[in-house]
Structure 1
Amino acid sequence: MGDETAADTGTGIAGKVVAVTGASGGIGAAIAERLAASGATLVLGARRAHKLDEVVERIRSTGGSASAVEIDVRRREDLIRLVTAAQEQHGRLDVLVANAGSMATSRFDELKQDDWDEVVATNLTGVLNGIAAALPVFREQGFGQFVNMASTSAHTIVPTQGVYAATKTAIRVLSEALRQEAGPALRVTVVSPGLTRTEGTLSGDEKMTAWVDAVAQPADAVAQAVAFAIAQPDGVDIGEIIVRPTAQD
């Protein structure tokens, strides 16, 4: 085991052990770097190992603490490996940020069922796999926090985003149910970003790129919202934060 000294689970971020999925780029990398700068110890998971290593190196180069675990959130055993890595390296896990997601969108009459399966498996099953891996650990510790990433698409439905929006709505629902079941010792937060500049939104489509350039918020805006939720004192649970650019409808 690593450092088994109990964290100050009250106000602040410094000293907390935080695992982040989908941390190889975009919002996940921004969350990792923001929390590391505030003194958290990061255990980062993603499928793109080389990109994940780059994030870890950036954090370490500025004096932060981070390690990488190559994972696919669609696999139960991979989330268990991520949580176990935090326990073995640092003696505990304070927060699990379920950020990994798929943004595949299309009209229903295109019948892109492989894309539908990918979105459900990553966005919804991936979050459930994280809950199943971390909840027993949080229960045993007597403290812990889930931060689950939803979307403004869970609040405003538009064409082509039906399946994506359905998974993000489900995240809001299951997170609220988990919050009610979790009791006073555990915290559950949903963060719902609006249009954000990431590799996924800058996909090469000319019209989409123009929209992102005109409207999107930086990924660090979402990271700041996550940091705010984590920094709250014991007994305070931020249920949901919606963070969107002012120019978004």
Structure 2
Amino acid sequence: MTAALLTGTPLAGRVAVVSGASSGIGAATALRLAELGAKVAVLARRKDKLDELAASISAAGGTVIAIPIDVTGREAVRDAAAEVAERLGTADLVVNNAGVQLISPITDLRQDDWQRQIDLNITGVMNVIGAFLPHLTAAGEAGRPADLITTSSIAATRVLEKFSVYSGTKAYISHLTRLLRVELGPKNIRVATIEPGMVDTELPSHVTDPDASALMEGLLTEIDPLQSADVAETVAFIAASPRHVNLTEITILPTAQAV
């Protein structure tokens, strides 16, 4: 478990939205942001997992709402944004984290897996941006901190066998955030992306190719991987930085990971 770097409630008064919050990085990030004082809306498909997370945050004294949705549905995400505004206020911290990793050789032609990654990792990300950008714009105009933080991956820049489609979706995210900064920076909206290396989450269990799944599980045992809390602490550090400071791209790797 990571050592907590931030103390107190530097995010008090802020309204955070975390997609893909039912497990892994998303759940850890929601917990950490709430611990640091933010009111948090957690979004994901699995209602049971969201309810468990919300109960944990509430038990620790945090303010949270759980909204079970599939972010690939544009209208559902728009409705979620309206619910956040009504129940918590205007969101000024959006963690665009929902994603899936389904690696396999391109020659296997697993086109359903390709499409699922494109739908969630790209379309889902764009739906969250479309729904919550008006919130962030309003926060920036009001002189408040405004953060759009997206979870990418080192796969965005590394050449990794069997990762073609997944890596393509993450490269899209990493470059998108660079382009968004050109438009949104002048509006006082900070845009950042985090590119983690090997993280011990449930993502490897989603891999449908047996050889690829064994490869991922093997890596988790060969090195001391990142924990979700490590990435969550990085998100929190970005959000808690002074408003005029934008930590634009952060790569976070396990010490023992070479590539």
Mark yes or no: TM-score above 0.5. Answer: yes
**1:162 counterpart residue number:** 164
Partner of 1:152: 154
Aligned AA for 1:163? V
Trace 1:24-173 onto structure 2 (pairs within 5 A).
24-141=22-139, 142=141, 143=144, 144-173=146-175
After the TM superposition, which segments of 4 or more aligned residues of structure 1 sit over 4 Å from their partners? Answer: 202-207
Q: Deviations over 1:217-248 (max 9, x none)?
A: 11101001100110011111111111110111
CA 1:158–1:79: 2 relative to 1, 3 Å = same
Aligned residues: 239
Report the Cα distance in structure 2 between the residues aligned to 1:119 and 1:235, rounded to whole angstroms: 34
Q: Which runs of 5+ in 2 are unaligned?
A: 1-8
Shift of 1:130: 1.0
1:194 maps to which of 173, 192, 197: 197
Question: Displacement of 1:51 after TM fit?
Answer: 0.6
Is the 2:92–2:135 contact (alpha carbons within 8 Å) kept by the matching residues of 1?
A: no
Are residue 211 (structure 1) and residue 219 (structure 2) matched? yes
The CA distance in 2 between the partners of 1:13 and 1:140, in whole Å, is 18
Give unpaired runs (5+ residues) of structure 1: 1-10
Instruction: Please tell me the root mean square deviation across aligned C-alpha atoms, in Å.
Output: 1.6
Which of 232, 246, 249 pairs up with 1:237? 246
- Give the corresponding residue for 1:175: 177
* Matched residue SS, 2:176: helix
**1:81 Cα deviation from its structure 2 partner:** 2.1
How much does 1:207 deviate? 4.7
CA contact (8 A) 1:105 1:163 kept: yes
1:184-228, CA deviations, whole angstroms, 9 ceiling, x for partnerless residues? 411101011110001123569555323213321111010011001
Separation in 2 of the partners of 1:240 and 1:104?
24
State the distance in 1 between where 2:165 and 2:173 align. Answer: 13
Q: Which moved further from structure 2: 117-126 or 142-151?
A: 142-151
- CA deviations 1:145-199 (Å, max 9, x no partner) are 1101100101212111010001101101111111110114111010111100011
Task: Tell me how far apart the structure 1 counterparts of residues 86 and 219 of structure 2 sit (CA, whole Å).
Answer: 44
Give the CA deviation at 1:59.
Answer: 1.0
Query: Could you report, residue by residue, the CA deviation over 1:17-46 in whole angstroms, capped at 9, with x for unpaired residues?
Result: 100000000110010111111111110000
Identical aligned residues as a percent: 37
Matching of residue 220 in structure 1 with residue 222 in structure 2:
no
What is the SS of the residue equivalent to 2:94? strand
